[in-house]
Amino acid sequence: MNAHHDNAPLYQRFADLLHRTMGLDAASLGHSAIERAVDQRAAAWYADGHVEATLTDYWDATQSSPAMVQALIETVVVPETWFYRDADAFKALARLAHERLVGRGTALPLRILSLPCSTGEEPYTIAMTLLDAGIDPAQWRIDAMDISDRSLAVAQRAVYGRNSFRGNAFAFRDAHFTRTGDGWRLAPRVVEAVRFSRANLMQLDASALGVYDFVFCRNVLIYFDRDAQQKALHALNSMLAENGTLFVGPAETGLLMRYGMQSARIPLAFAFHRAALDETPSSGWHTASLPAAAALAMAPSQLPALARPPMSSTQPAAWPVRVARTPANGATPFAPRGSVAPCMRKMSISASPVHHPLSPPSPATADAARDTLQAARALADAGRLAQAESAINAYLEHHAPLADAFYLLGVLADANGAAQLARGHYRKALYLDPRHAEALAHLATLLELEGDRDGARLLMQRAARAQGAQRG
DSSP 3-state of 179: strand
Say if residues 38 and 62 touch (Cβ distance below 8 Å). no
State residue 346's pLDDT score.
Answer: 26
One domain for residues 67 and 92: no
One domain for residues 248 and 149: yes
In a domain, 306, yes or no: no
State residue 363's pLDDT score.
Answer: 66
One domain for residues 120 and 43: no
In a domain, 365, yes or no: yes
Buried b (16+ CB within 10 A) or exposed e, 104-131: eeeeebbbbbbbbbbbbbbbbbbbbbbb
State residue 131's pLDDT score.
Answer: 97
Containing structural domain, residue 210: 88-295
The enclosing domain of 417 has a CATH number of 1.25.40.10
State residue 280's pLDDT score.
Answer: 45
One domain for residues 197 and 221: yes
In a domain, 303, yes or no: no
One domain for residues 338 and 232: no
State residue 341's pLDDT score.
Answer: 27
Express each pLDDT in 192-210 by its tens digit. Answer: 999 999 999 988 888 889 9
One domain for residues 67 and 213: no
Q: Per the structure, how many domains does the chain have?
A: 3
One domain for residues 71 and 104: no
CA 332/CA 403 separation, integer angstroms: 7
Contacts of 409 (CB under 8 A, 6+ apart): 349, 389, 392, 393, 425
In a domain, 309, yes or no: no
One domain for residues 382 and 456: yes
One domain for residues 121 and 172: yes
State residue 386's pLDDT score.
Answer: 84
Rounded to two decimals, the pTM is 0.66
Express each pLDDT in 241-252 by its tens digit. Answer: 988 999 998 778
In a domain, 456, yes or no: yes
pLDDT along the chain (472 residues), means of 10: 68 92 83 90 94 93 94 86 91 94 82 95 98 95 95 96 88 96 95 95 87 93 86 90 89 76 80 67 36 32 31 32 31 29 27 38 69 79 78 85 86 76 89 87 76 79 69 48
DSSP 24: B
In a domain, 308, yes or no: no
